[in-house]
Amino acid sequence: MTLFSRFANHINAALDALVARGELAADLSRTAISVEPPRDASHGDIATNAAMVLAKPAKTNPRALAELLVAELAKLDEVEEASVAGPGFINMRVADESWRQELALIHAQAQDYGRSAAGKGIRVNVEYVSANPTGPMHVGHCRGAVVGDALAALLEFAGHDVVREYYVNDAGAQVDVLARSAHVRYRQALGEDVGEIPEGLYPGDYLKPVGQALAAEYGDQFVGQPESAWLLTFRSFAVEKMLELIRSDLAKLGIHHDIFSSEAELQAAGKPAAAEAWLREQGLVYDGVLEAPKGETPDDWEPVELPLFRSTQFGDDQDRPIKKSDGSWTYFGADLAYHYQKAQSADELIDIWGADHAGTVKRIKAAVAALTDGKTRFDVKLVQMVRLLKNGEPFKMSKRAGNFVTLADVVDEVGKDAVRFTMLTRKADAQMDFDFAKVIEASRDNPVFYVQYAHARIASLKRRVADAGIVLVDPAPSRLSDDELPLIKLMAQFPRIVDAAASAREPHRIAFYLGDIAAAFHAWWNMGNDKPEARVVRADDPELTATRLYLADAIGQIIRNGMALMGVTALEEMN
């Protein structure tokens, strides 16, 4: 058990003791109690607000309750000192030995240090990317892909049962456009001069291989045929090819989904109709006419009666159509059924969306609340736009066809690790600049480099020791100095950072924590520059060398564990 979780137990046990003696009511909620390092290290190692949180419901004053708790906590061997501070904080100083044991625990648990059971095996479905299957991944998809993937890994590490899902929008008008575009490329592959790709179709070169594959598969049987003869065939063929393309793009980023769910299959299986029928029974779908949109009214606006979902009942601004006037499902109508389907096999749902879809959050939340009777927790995580820069200047790609920057271009340019790490150095809901020059820059202000450099330095220590022919003996943690214990204290926070990041659904916290770890390590390392006796590699003292290497190695382990959550590979050497 990690140190912080053990102290959480200590505090609970102390509260139990007060309850047993009748000094505290038994039924008080303890969920708001924190166990964390105080902001100012001079206050001690661990602080808790337990007395302040419980004082009011216990009808006592915080300091009095704190005194009682302090008396209990001070009995513990690993508590050197416990005191009441300020309005009722309890500060504790933890025995050095406990920190040394935590260091041993990091080594013992290695890649599992930080893994927790906090998620209690709750089944969480994380849906991310879900880009339309009409072309290669665009750079705009990049951030959501990385955030979703890192969040999934984080939740898994924190004890959730995670499913990574991709929703394939293969039923709308955009895939008909894809099929028509593929048909042009098909004719081209058969030798026809198709000239410019007609307006409104997808012009990208990436459809040429699709055309060729279609030609190889079907010969010329669909040339000169009406659309009805080939549309469905071409559509599913092209969609399948686009999914292959997307999967390969995602693989470049190290992303692999467990499930690809097809909107077309969902509709074919009658799921939207079933959802509609059920919602009509509940009175949550009715036939009605929407008001004209406020602001700029489109010229071609005309009132039409449509089946509407009563999302206003759940806080949306207006009710939302689930079918179009031609009888086909709207995106929302199908999406509603899709979320219902996901909720069948998960306890919690998370969608990662681009911020441009912010306007549709309320309706889908309303739908999930209606369909699951409010029982399924459902979060939509909005990922803000990324501005592409090169040396501070807006970046423009000079690609002939399409003129867009693909995800593959970005990964090829700066590498998977730099892309992933950089995408996680901002809160997802804050806008971000992505500067091609900066993310590969080898300097302090590039967190990717800075953290990698720390890890590489640790690896170099091991090589140095081997090169120096030092025969390592068992480490002697008692020889760790006062400059070195704080490093353990920082490492010991990793498990609680993981839990906090998971429950807040904020993977960026891992990146910032790794930056802190790296900074502490670099500072420690540099002490060896100022004072040779502070160096790790000490040919004159194999035991001290082994001890410091033991410490450094643990730091490397923490960095690797954090990087693994981010999907980034830790480097052994900088080049």
Q: Site residues for RNA, window 305-334 (CB under 7 A)?
A: 306, 317, 320-321, 324-326, 330-332
According to the binding rule CB under 7 A, does residue 574 interact with RNA?
yes
Give whichever of 222 and 521 is closer to RNA, judged by the CB atom: 521
Amino acid at site 160? H
According to the binding rule CB under 7 A, does residue 286 interact with RNA?
no
d(CA 66, CA 54): 10
Using DSSP, state whether 160 is helix, strand or coil. Answer: coil
Give whichever of 23 and 541 is closer to RNA, judged by the CB atom: 541
Structural element, H or E, at residue 308: strand 305-309
d(CA 312, CA 319): 6
Tell me the pairing of strands 35-36 and 89-94. Answer: unpaired
According to the binding rule CB under 7 A, does residue 539 interact with RNA?
no
Give the interface segment with RNA, choosing from 19-27, 219-227, 352-360, 367-375 (CB under 7 A).
Answer: 352-360
According to the binding rule CB under 7 A, does residue 423 interact with RNA?
no
* Footprint of RNA on 183-212 (CB under 7 A): none
Of 302, 474, 482, 540, which one interacts with RNA (CB under 7 A)? 302
Give whichever of 225 and 431 is closer to RNA, judged by the CB atom: 431
Write each residue from 390 to 409 as x if it is in contact with RNA (CB under 7 A), else as -, in one continuous string: --------------------
Number of other CB atoms surrounding residue 553 within 10 Å:
19
Q: Tokens 């079907």, residue?
A: 218
Q: Is residue 381 a contact partner of residue 114, using CB atoms and an 8 Å limit? A: no
According to the binding rule CB under 7 A, does residue 575 interact with RNA?
yes
Write each residue from 106 to 145 as x if it is in contact with RNA (CB under 7 A), else as -, in one continuous string: --------------------------x-------------
Give whichever of 189 and 334 is closer to RNA, judged by the CB atom: 334
Give the interface segment with RNA, choosing from 195-203, 342-350, 455-463, 560-568 (CB under 7 A).
Answer: 455-463
* Footprint of RNA on 353-382 (CB under 7 A): 355-362, 382
Please give the full DSSP string across 97-137, using - where no structure is assigned. Answer: HHHHHHHHHHHHHGGGTT--STTTT-EEEEE-----TTSSP
* Footprint of RNA on 470-529 (CB under 7 A): 496-497, 500, 503-504, 506, 508-509, 512, 515, 519, 522-529
Using DSSP, state whether 424 is helix, strand or coil. Answer: coil
Please give the full DSSP string across 134-151, using - where no structure is assigned. Answer: TSSPBGGGHHHHHHHHHH
Burial of residue 24 (CB within 10 Å: 0-12, 13-18, 19+) is buried
Q: Is residue 175 a contact partner of residue 235, using CB atoms and an 8 Å limit? A: yes
According to the binding rule CB under 7 A, does residue 384 interact with RNA?
yes
Give the interface segment with RNA, choosing from 66-74, 216-224, 267-275, 426-434 (CB under 7 A).
Answer: 426-434
Give whichever of 67 and 223 is closer to RNA, judged by the CB atom: 67
d(CA 15, CA 68): 9
d(CA 355, CA 430): 10
Give whichever of 215 and 454 is closer to RNA, judged by the CB atom: 454
Number of other CB atoms surrounding residue 192 within 10 Å:
12
Of 38, 415, 486, 542, which one interacts with RNA (CB under 7 A)? 38
Give whichever of 182 and 306 is closer to RNA, judged by the CB atom: 306
Q: Is residue 355 a contact partner of residue 385, using CB atoms and an 8 Å limit? A: yes
Amino acid at site 413? E
Give the interface segment with RNA, choosing from 279-287, 483-491, 556-564, 567-575 (CB under 7 A).
Answer: 567-575
Give whichever of 6 and 522 is closer to RNA, judged by the CB atom: 522
